[in-house]
Amino acid sequence: MAASLTSLVDDLSKYGESFQVFLDSSSEHQTIKSFINGPLTNILASIGEGKPTLNVLGVGSGSGEIDLEIIRQIQLRHPEAKVDNEVVEPSSDMLDKYKDLVSKTSDLDQVTFTWNNMKASEFEKTWKERNPDKKMDFIHMIQALYYVEDPESAILFFQSLLQKNGKLLLILVSGEGSWAKLWKTFGTLFGKNDTSQSVTMGDIKSLLDSRGVPYQKYQLPSRMDITSCFTPGDEKGELLLDFLTEVQGFRKSAPPELTAAVLDLLRRPDCSKEEDGRVIFNNNLEALLLNP
């Protein structure tokens, strides 16, 4: 990593600003919600076996929009059941937003929330003492495995918490999408620090395959309009470029040759397509479902 490049993760308010531009420019949340309200519905119907309370665990839940979509779908499939929802999220700002969202959402009377303001590895350490016998009907880790120290052991731990008929859902960028190309080409040049690693679902499938762990997989097509990145000085474009590279103020701080090379790759047909004069980046995701 070039010493002059500062990771975006080092300033969470800047990260949040860039993330918001990303959400506004991409279909990411719509893509995930369509999966939850499409292919996942049958799976959510199959969990729990008529138990009065379904145990749900979200890992890296962020501000909770996606979690509440999952809970809504579980309630539609199990109208009689209560939901015991455990949330693991290391950022207390995110947890505050999540609690805010809960207080503004109706129809959650049957849902209890347990807030675990900690990393997945800390949760794992305390879990066995607190709840030696508790098992989960549904666990999800959505766009979260980039931030755990050891993705493989995290997956195996959460899989071990599953109840019979339970499911573990993982969502990550596809190994064939443009994030993977960007990381393969520039990985170490960007401002990566220990907080975030460039892992794709291709890597996760290799890990699981070599252990003989079976899974179901789903492709989740997703896109991001990066046209504004090609207009120097465009406020949103600069924030999006920061998000893509995970570098604060990328265009101002990176060597000009690196900036040119990144913009060139972003425009190439194996990264993006042109549509009605817009540059559309391949943000495809992949979902895996694991059994206990």
Chain residues binding ligand CQA by CB under 6 A are 9, 12, 15-16, 19, 28, 143, 146-147, 173, 179, 196
Q: Are 167 and 290 in contact (CB under 8 A)?
A: yes
CB of 12 to ligand CQA, least distance (A): 5
Token pair in block for residue 285 = 């995701």
CB of 287 to ligand CQA, least distance (A): 14
CB of 40 to ligand CQA, least distance (A): 18
How far, in Å, CA of 183 to CA of 168, rounded? 26
Displacement of CA 178 from its chain's centroid (Å): 16
Q: Which residue is nearest to ligand CQA (CB)?
A: 143
Distances (CA, A) of 193 to 3, 5, 60, 94, 251: 11, 11, 18, 21, 19
Residue whose CB is less far from ligand CQA, 161 or 279: 279
How far, in Å, CA of 234 to CA of 228, rounded? 6
* Residue listed under structure tokens 């755990």: 148
CB of 33 to ligand CQA, least distance (A): 14
The CA-based diameter of the chain, rounded to the nearest angstrom, is: 60
Residue whose CB is less far from ligand CQA, 85 or 283: 283
Residue whose CB is less far from ligand CQA, 193 or 291: 193
Q: Are 124 and 151 in contact (CB under 8 A)?
A: no
Answer positive or negative: Cα dihedral of 114, 62, 285, 151.
negative
Q: Are 175 and 147 in contact (CB under 8 A)?
A: no
CB of 115 to ligand CQA, least distance (A): 17
Residue whose CB is less far from ligand CQA, 117 or 196: 196
CB of 62 to ligand CQA, least distance (A): 6
Residue whose CB is less far from ligand CQA, 44 or 141: 141
CB of 189 to ligand CQA, least distance (A): 15
Residue whose CB is less far from ligand CQA, 98 or 147: 147
How far, in Å, CA of 37 to CA of 34, rounded? 5
The dihedral formed by the CA atoms of 97, 98, 100 and 104, expressed in degrees to the nearest 10: 140
Residue whose CB is less far from ligand CQA, 15 or 158: 15
CB of 114 to ligand CQA, least distance (A): 22
The beta-carbon contacts of 34-40 under 8 Å, at least 24 apart in sequence, are: 34/220, 35/171, 35/218, 35/220, 35/287, 36/66, 36/69, 36/70, 36/73, 37/69, 37/73, 39/218, 39/287, 40/70, 40/73, 40/169
Residue whose CB is less far from ligand CQA, 28 or 124: 28
